[in-house]
Structure 1
Amino acid sequence: MDGPLCLLVVSTLLTLVRSEEVGEIFKATLTNMGHSTVFHGEPIRLTCSVPDLRSTWTHAWFRDGQRLVQAGELTIPSAAVKDAGTYVCRGERRGVGGIIYTPKSLPHDISIDMGEVLLTVSQPVLVGETLVAKCRVRGTPRLTEVYLYKDNVLVSSRSDGMADFTLPNVNLTYQGTYHCMAAWFNRQQNVAKSLGNLVTVKEVVSKPILSLVVNADTKQKDMTLRCTFTFIKPDPAAEVHVYFYRDDKKLEGIARSQKRASLVVLKREGAYRCRARVPSLNLNRWSEPEGYRP
């Protein structure tokens, strides 16, 4: 294949590549205008946006990987069990070489509750943060009593007609299964409880684990200290500084890492430890000591 036909094919392929690149520049953002857990029969309303003032994008919707017929804003007037699932959207528009697609949005889960009372909890919760639990009753009647339980033990209650609970400065003991119970009067006294909602509490920095990597060659004069941990960024500016110690004396060097840091040191007898510090939170976590003897 040569001549004008070849040039036409190459030109078309280049146009398609450029179209894909144009789509990659923009990102689709899914926004839930209501709740992530809704009562059976309640509406679901999701919007999709692509930040591009120069072009008009249409929006395609997917639930559990299957494309839906809806375009634009996704509105379900009366949610049914079949409407539960993981939703994503993407932008689409026609370009010179064909249809241009943005990457799909971050996924958003929608669940359907068949009961009279449901509990939503902020997830996951980091140690030191505030746990927010919201108890909802179908039809929003006037509440007389609301109770919050963790692992079937009463945590808090209120009788002021409100149904939100805030538990500040949480620690790992707050992890467990929560449910709420509500009482309200609507021609007669009503009492119902929600399903359980598992709350996971995570540490910003887990307790580090120090390992000593020693070369079997006795002529090797150095060894490697490795400090391993998990780190969940509470904000974009947060970072971890890692320090190493021998017999509680800080060794030279500092590392910035998201999950593992290492330092090469001379082989010397002693008890080694590492410390992971988040300066912006004044948070320090220490490893257990690891002894070394030549």
Structure 2
Amino acid sequence: MELSQLPLVLFYRAVLSVSSQKWLTEGDPVTLICGVKGSSTGWTFSWFTLTASSDYGNHYKLLSDSSRGAGGNYTVSSAALNHTGIYVCRGERENTACNTTFSNKQPLWITGVSPPVSLIIGPNRAQHFSRATLSLSCEDQSNSGRWRMRSYTDHWGMENCSSRWASQTGSTCTISSITTSSTGVYWCWSESGENYNPVNITVHAGVILESPVHPVTEGDTLTLRCLYKRSTPPNLRADFYKDGSLIQNQTTEMIIPNVSKSHEGFYYCKHPERGQSPKSWISVTVSHSESQISVLHTLSSVLAVCPYLLVTVVLIVKCCRMRVTSVEEEET
């Protein structure tokens, strides 16, 4: 067959984006948007999640409700903890054999106030020194032991806790010597497909910021320290920054009492000789009790107004009836 007679094969690339940030709170809405680069019409889409495998390749699982995102938008009106995962999409053209490649990977991390399983980190901080030992344990109230650790890093992709880089004992995963390539998101999962409690872990060879792994509850006290492994004591007298602005200088720790939503942001510390730590996002959540109080306050306000609204409606109805009656009398 001559070269000119060979069928023309076009390779289209699917592109996946998200309507909001990839870190969400339980109940937030989110939309995944799939498009085809260089082409905009005639496509239907399928949606997949990335699964870990023993051969370190990419394996995708078709979402059971994939058809509801056929138009290019896959919308979750209220994100649940179990929506945590890595998503991809792919386009297909009707009545042709034309498919796109799998899209870029789009992670979604969903955090909640009361997840069914607790993720315990040791040492209990978001940033860690390279070459140190890190342990991660998934614990529920029944101590069932069915939970395992899963990670997603830029360097290795998605992986289970394995002998290649860690050891799993029950629900505890131990990494004997972490490196900067260990930086990523870690969460608890079960073989039944549940994914809970994602946390962002950063590994650095120099200065690190001692900051909480999990979100801070509004009203609590937040304490931050600047640490350096090769000094005694490890606490450094350093400058502390939030979102790029200096907020406290030359101190061994920064304490923020009565934390509020306004304290959310990216924090880091800087030492004039040792260097600067990576940035860590500090998230602040409203306590469950405060949420209940807010709901009760709203309900009480509505109930307080209801009698006045009821009286107003009754008066309006009576006025309308009186007008109708007067009009009928004039006509007769």
Query: What TM-score do you get using the length of structure 1 for normalisation?
Result: 0.47
- Write 1 or 2 for the structure with the bigger share of helix: 2
